[in-house]
Chain A
Amino acid sequence: SQKIEQNSEALNIQEGKTATLTCNYTNYSPAYLQWYRQDPGRGPVFLLLIRENEKEKRKERLKVTFDTTLKQSLFHITASQPADSATYLCASAPQSGGSYIPTFGRGTSLIVHP
């Protein structure tokens, strides 16, 4: 069955460092990967989308990569700030067959210490 997995352990980093979060997928080829930010008690907010034929996308301090060989997407936040502390979710849907509706990972909690 299709699986999308994120590291369940919280990532703790120091302010100013680069945070790197991982999203792994198995048993399917994603048409795209989306990344969302979720704050406690709030709904997820969309950040970035990367398609299967793209290697990298950037938006301000955010960068997403897509490696179809490793079956993995990495999400980077450079010059991290305490305000970046949140849970980050990845989501994807297969290129063909199955539902077009994205499956969400469990999310990884990021804690940026001042």
Chain B
Amino acid sequence: DGGITQSPKYLFRKEGQNVTLSCEQNLNHDAMYWYRQDPGQGLRLIYYSQIVNDFQKGDIAEGYSVSREKKESFPLTVTSAQKNPTAFYLCASNQGREQPQHFGDGTRLSIL
């Protein structure tokens, strides 16, 4: 079945540590996205990529980095510069301007 796979489901970060969240899709979509969701908040866009080897900052990119070396993969690194990383992180993909986004089941990141 086609879809988006995020791993791990739960992740813990120590102070000063960088952590990387994985996102893989087999939908053959060009565009991929990373969102952050906090309790009672809407989804906030961190980074997005419309094509391989290209990506743009979203509304809250500070403290995060991404890469898009393959069409299927869009990993997100939460760096030590992100002072409040505890949140639910969602990866999505779509094909076309109005097309609905397909989401993974998220990674919940907490601080140790």
Contact = CB atoms under 8 A, between A and B. Distances in A.
Interface in B26-51: 33, 35, 40-43, 45, 48
Interface stretch (A13-21, A44-52, A71-79): A44-52
Contact of A45 (B40, B45, B103): B103
B68 interface: no
A100 B90 contact: no
Contacts of B42: 4, 89, 103-107
Chain A interface main SS type: strand
Interface string B82-95: 00000000101000
Interface size class of B (residues with CB under 8 A): 20 to 34
B101 interface: yes
B103 A44 contact: yes
B103 A43 contact: yes
A17 B60 CA distance: 40
Nearest to B101: A46
Assign chain A's interface to a size class: 20 to 34
A19 to B, nearest CB: 20
Contact of A41 (B4, B43, B106): B106
Nearest to A103: B42
B104 A31 contact: no
B48 A101 contact: yes
Contact of B102 (A46, A49, A106): A46
B103 A106 contact: no
A36 B104 CA distance: 13
Contact of B98 (A31, A45, A103, A106): A31
Contacts of A31: 98
A106 B101 contact: no
B98 A43 contact: no
Contact of A104 (B4, B43, B102, B104): B43
Interface of A: 4, 8, 31-32, 34, 36, 41-46, 49, 51, 89, 93, 100-107
